[in-house]
Amino acid sequence: MLNYTRYQKVPVVDFPERQWPNKQIEKAPIWCSVDLRDGNQALIEPMVVEEKIEYFTLLVKLGFKEIEVGFPSASQIEFDFLRQLVDRKLIPDDVVVQVLVQCREHLLKRTFEALKGVKTAIVHIYNSTSTLQRDVVFGMSREEIKQIAIEGTRLVKEYAKDFPGNIILEYSPESFTGTELDFALEVCEAVMEVWEPTRDKKIIFNLPATVEMNTPNVYADQIEWMNTHFKNRDSIILSVHPHNDRGTGVAISELALLAGADRVEGTLFGNGERTGNVDLLTLAYNMFSQGINPELEIDNINEIIEVYERCCKIPVHLRHPYAGKLVFTAFSGSHQDAINKGVKAMKERKSSIWAVPYLPIDPADIGRKYEPIVRINSQSGKGGVAFIMETYFGFKLPKGMHKEFADIIQGISEKSGEVAPDQIMQEFRLQYLDRKEPYHFRKSRFEDLSDTDSDFDTLAVVTYTDHGTEKTYEATGNGPIDAVQRGLIKELGIKIKVLDYSEHALGEGSNAQAAAYVHLLDTESGKVSFGVGISSNITRASIRAVFSAVNRLIL
């Protein structure tokens, strides 16, 4: 049995004044990618310089205006990477690079050496402020921890004074979620007193969920409490840096934005230490799905996946939101049917608003395709098979035919697993279009008898093969299909009745073929079956459908 008594509840915030539950996200935050620092340090095999440059180029292409490029004082490869960006002039004028550094003088000196030639940079300093780390890691009092932050800020200010470019200070009380709120506020405001930000030269206060410790609403309360208690709030950019220890990184980020956060730090696909950082793409696509401009160029997710997987050497999970190979698929029969009907309804109504059951966004909007939406296995239903036939191959199966053909495909899937669209089409041909034994229609001629007194005003002359032997018959009826049917009854000694008939064009234009469907009843046995025929001539397609159905009935 799990020994749950070893753990205790993390305190919540007593904050009845909270306003965030009544708010909605209205716009995109300031995005800051930390893939090249947080993300890179969490890789089993960290990126080399050229991989980092390729990744940086991708982030710029996606529209990130703030990119944390590393910890240049921590290792030579981190230092060299930043120098490569500068020397090769790879940093666009509208992109601000961010560097992380601890509050230590020799590290800050090395960091500013790496920044030479950068026009604008964010220098991100941090020190842990949590109750637990003060106790077991540092053995320091609140005042001693605060002095580390103050001294670090003073040093940055000194180095920034002689730096030819523009320096923006970012301060993080690391492990903010485990820090008393009044102390987090005290440390941040001590930093602000030293830095002296203004409306025109703001400071970034980054409040990280370094470890997720409670439900998302508690983080939102913490952010709103800080947001409403800061002095000179108009001189502050309030940033969050959520991790995903409890699996709610996206949720705490969204609630933090409701609570007043201006900025979010995270990574593509959530790569980061332990269970990862917040997934910026999921956040952005969530906004997009609500009609909000995410202000990122993320309409080709396949390209993002390709670069990410190659540089990070981590595969994107099949069920990853928006990006996974299976997220725009449906195996459930009821889901497939609903998707099929939703897509049809949108086409018929010519709606500009996306509204399809089970698909929160149009896959095509992010570079995915319609084709993979429905996949067929033993759990699939009639609607899914019909959807595949129409979407892939243009066959609009009559509703009554859905179950007949789906039962055939389900029998295959129960033996072999998932059935690919091409395999479904192959079976459709085998069962319907190429069903030419024992009776194979060859040719026909029709004569109009409308000048006679008979109700049977169509004469059909039909040539066919019976077990390979060519035969011809003549018959009359009230139309081509009726005449063909009556002739078969007489020729073959069978009793059949057409229950339903439908047709449609396969494709567009004057050269398009027609598809015809006939639902046939054997009046003696009660057995029913569909037949399908295609031809550039609709009458020929109809006769082929009749012969297809007859051949299926006598199986």
Q: Is residue 227 predicted with pLDDT exceeding 80?
A: yes
User: Which of 2-11, 65-74, 136-145, 155-164 has the lowest average pLDDT?
Assistant: 2-11
The conformational region for residue 416 under phi > 0 = left, psi -120 to 50 = alpha, else beta, is alpha
CB proximity list for 76: less than 8 A, separation 6 or greater: none
SS3 content of the chain, % helix, strand, coil (to 5): 45, 20, 35
Q: How far does CA 98 lie from the centroid of its chain?
A: 29
Yes or no: say if 514 and 454 are a contact pair by the CB < 8 Å rule. no
* pLDDT of 464 over the 90 cut: yes
Residues 6+ apart with CB under 8 A from 7: none
**427-445 pLDDT per residue, tens:** 999 999 999 999 999 999 9
pLDDT at 329: 83
Which structure tokens are listed for 384?
């899914």
Q: In what order do the strands lie in the sheet with 513-522?
A: 496-506, 513-522, 528-535
- Distance CA(331)–CA(497), nearest Å, equals 36
Tell me, what's the pLDDT at 371?
53
Residue tagged 């005449």 (tokens): 483
Pairing of strands 458-466, 469-477: antiparallel
- Top-confidence range, 100-104, 120-124, 511-515: 120-124
pLDDT in the model for residue 374: 67
**pLDDT value of residue 335:** 83
pLDDT-based confidence at 512, cuts 50/70/90?
Answer: confident
DSSP character at residue 511: T
How far apart are alpha carbons 85 and 52 in whole angstroms? Answer: 10
Among candidate residues 305, 292, 176, 187, the one with its CA nearest the CA of residue 242 = 176
Is-contact 191 203, C-beta < 8 A? yes
Closest Cα to residue 248, out of 284, 218, 227, 228? 218
Contact 449, 457 (CB under 8 A): yes
- Those residues whose C-beta lies under 8 Å from the C-beta of residue 114, and which sit 6 or more positions away, are 72, 73, 79, 82, 83, 99
Instruction: Answer whether 210's CB lies under 8 Å from 175's CB.
Output: yes
What predicted TM-score, i.e. pTM, was given to this entire model? 0.79
Across the chain, how many H-helices and E-strands are there? 17, 14
CA gap 265, 445 in Å, rounded? 75
Which segment of 91-95, 241-245, 413-417 scores lowest on mean pLDDT? 413-417
d(C-alpha 71, C-alpha 518), whole Å: 71
Distance CA 521, CA 2 (A): 63
Please, what are the domains in the chain?
26-312 (3.20.20.70), 333-419 (1.10.287.1400), 439-553 (3.30.160.270)
534, 515 in Cβ contact below 8 A?
A: yes
Packed helices 105-114 and 76-87: angle between N→C axes, nearest 10 degrees:
30
Q: Are 188 and 173 in contact (CB under 8 A)?
A: yes
Q: In the chain, pLDDT over 70 holds for what percent of residues?
A: 97
Q: What's residue 48's pLDDT?
A: 92
Task: Examine residue 173 and say whether the peptide bond preceding it is cis (omega within 30 degrees of 0).
Answer: no
The answer to whether 511 and 535 are in contact (CB under 8 A) is: no
Q: Which of 183, 219, 256 is nearest to 12 (CA)?
A: 219
Asked if 317 and 324 count as a contact pair (C-beta separation under 8 A), the reply is: yes
